[in-house]
Amino acid sequence: DAKTTQPNSMESNEEEPVHLPCNHSTISGTDYIHWYRQLPSQGPEYVIHGLTSNVNNRMASLAIAEDRKSSTLILHRATLRDAAVYYCIRAGTYKYIFGTGTRLKVLA
Amino acid sequence: AAGVIQSPRHLIKEKRETATLKCYPIPRHDTVYWYQQGPGQDPQFLISFYEKMQSDKGSIPDRFSAQQFSDYHSELNMSSLELGDSALYFCASSPDSGANVLTFGAGSRLTVL
C-alpha cells in the first residue's frame, strides 16, 4: 500500500497563489481525497475534499487529475495565517490515511 | 459550536505503566478515529469505531486497546508503556463514514519517561 507522497516543504510570497501537489498513485476508486492543515501542537483542520471533480470552497480549490493518481491544493492568495503543514489524505470507509505532509512557509 | 474534547491534554507516565485517553465526539457524530503522531511525523491511523463497533484498524500495537461507549465517547487504553509511545494522540469524529469531514480534537500529549 504505497504512501501518499507530498513535497517536504514549499515557500510562497504573501498574496500570491500556492499550488501544493500530492501523489496518490495507488488510490482506490472509492477513496476520497481530503486535505487538512495542521499548526504546531494543534489538531488537523479540514480544508477541502473531493472524489473526481475539481472542488472550490471559501478556503481553497482542489484540482484532481483525470486518472486520480494526483491532486493539487490551490490557495488562491496565501496569507501569513496559511503557514502550516498541509496533509493530503486518502479517505476510505472508516480509514483516513495521511500523506507525508508539506510544510508551507509564507513570506511577508 | 461544540468541538471534539480530548482528555487529559497532557499525561506523563513511567515505562511499563498504563494510560487511558478519552475522546468525546461532537454531538450526533457516531464515528470516532484515533491517530498517533510522533515528533516530526505525520499522524498514523490507529483504529476507528462506528456505532460502538470497531470498524477498521491500522498500526495499533497489541498493547493498546480501545472502545466506543453507548454515549459515543471513546477511550484508548495503553498498557506496558514504552518510550516510543511518547506522542500526540488525536481523536477525530464524523457523522458517519463515506468520506465525511473529520473534526479533530486538540490532542493528548503522552510523555513516557
pLDDT of A56 over the 80 cut = yes
> Looking at the predicted structure, is the pLDDT value of residue A59 above 90?
no
Strand partners, A75: A18
List, in order, residues 6 or more apart from B102 with CB less than 8 Å away. A34, A36, A44, A46, A96, B33, B92, B93, B94
The stretch A50-61 carries a mean pLDDT of 92
pLDDT, tens digit, 9 for 90 and up, residues B29-69: 999 999 999 999 999 999 999 999 999 999 899 999 999 99
Separation CA B112–CA B16 (nearest Å)? 9
Note whether B45 contacts A94, CB cutoff 8 Å.
no
Residues of A in contact with B103 (CB under 8 A): 46
pLDDT at A72 over 60: yes
Contact B88 A41 (CB under 8 A): yes
Averaged over A86-106, what is the pLDDT? 94
A interface test, pick of B102, B103, B111 with most A CB neighbours within 10 Å: B102
Nearest Cβ partner of A94 from B31, B43, B103? B31
What is the pLDDT, as a whole number, of residue B106?
96
Q: Are B52 and B68 in contact (CB under 8 A)?
A: yes
pLDDT of residue B23: 98
The pLDDT of residue B32: 95
Of B99, B101, B105, which has the smallest distance from its Cβ to A43's Cβ? Answer: B105
Q: Is the pLDDT of residue A1 over 70?
A: no
CB contact under 8 A, B42 and A32: no
Contact criterion met (CB < 8 Å) for A46 and B102 = yes
Backbone angles phi, psi at B15, to 5 degrees: -55, 145
Q: What is the tens place of the pLDDT at every residue in A2-44?
A: 689 999 999 999 999 999 999 998 888 889 999 999 998 899 9
Mutation target vs B (from A46, A53, A96; most B CBs, 10 A cutoff):
A96
Q: Which residue's entry shows cell 473531493? A: A50
Q: Report pLDDT for B107.
A: 97
Task: Report d(CA A103, CA A7) in Å as an integer.
Answer: 8
Reply yes or no on whether the pLDDT at B99 is more than 60.
Answer: yes
